[in-house]
Amino acid sequence: MKGIMGLKLGMTQVFDDEGRAIPVTVIHAEPNQVLRVRTRERDGYEAVQLGVGAIREHKIAHAQRLDYSQRGVNPARYVREFRLPGAVELESGQFVKVDETFAAGDIVDVTGTSKGKGFAGVIKRWGFHRGPTTHGSKYHRRVGSLGSRTSGGGGRVHPGRRLPGHMGHQRVTTLRLTVVRVDADRNLLLVRGSVPGPKGSLVMVRESVRNRKGAV
């Protein structure tokens, strides 16, 4: 299993050898530094903490600064943990580069935070149908019956009821995207299709969990 972090730059298109346009998302994946390696013997599972981006030392806690200095690594703006089998082969302070991690044709999963839409009603958030607009109706875009008098309901709103609320800004993973091109000189990763999040947001790219033999 392989993984790396990067910033989503936006979408564009490239052309293959047959002249067909391919929509791609451009991800700027600078070399990720290995901050910590977790082993099954010490932590109960295998994982690696990667860091990317510079940050001023006064913006992190004193205990974190001591931890970084003891392990001989630099403080990072973004820190994420990848549960990757075989992570014990890495060492603290080592850098993971995009061209050494992925190549054109690889199948990857991309995880990011979706765009926030603010407070939204049930029509925009869940696709509810609107009420009638004629014959004196004054009930157009509201929720509708909550079923508070249903049998055994106890006159309450059951958990999970689709209601108005904060839309978007959630952790989303897009599965089985194809790596179209890797630009080692500029640390760019071009992935076919769209990935979650706005421009400039952090994304995590890892080898697809469904890319194993026999997976669907």
Closest C-alpha among 178, 4, 27 to residue 107: 178
Percent composition of the chain: helix, strand, coil (DSSP 3-state, to 5)? 15, 40, 50
120 and 101 share a domain?
no
104 and 145 share a domain?
no
Classify residue 8: in a domain, yes or no.
Answer: yes
Share the mean pLDDT of the chain: 89
pLDDT along the chain (216 residues), means of 10: 91 93 96 90 88 87 86 89 78 89 94 96 94 89 78 73 95 95 95 95 92 51
135 and 44 share a domain?
no
- The domain total for the chain is 2
Classify residue 142: in a domain, yes or no.
Answer: yes
Classify residue 215: in a domain, yes or no.
Answer: no
Tokens (6 digits) for 32: 């990720």
Q: Which range marks the domain in which residue 164 is found?
A: 116-168
pTM for the full model?
0.84
Classify residue 193: in a domain, yes or no.
Answer: yes
- Interatomic CA distance for residues 13 and 21, integer angstroms: 6
- Interatomic CA distance for residues 35 and 72, integer angstroms: 9
pLDDT by residue (tens digit) across 75-102? 899 999 998 776 667 888 889 999 999 9
111 and 125 share a domain?
no
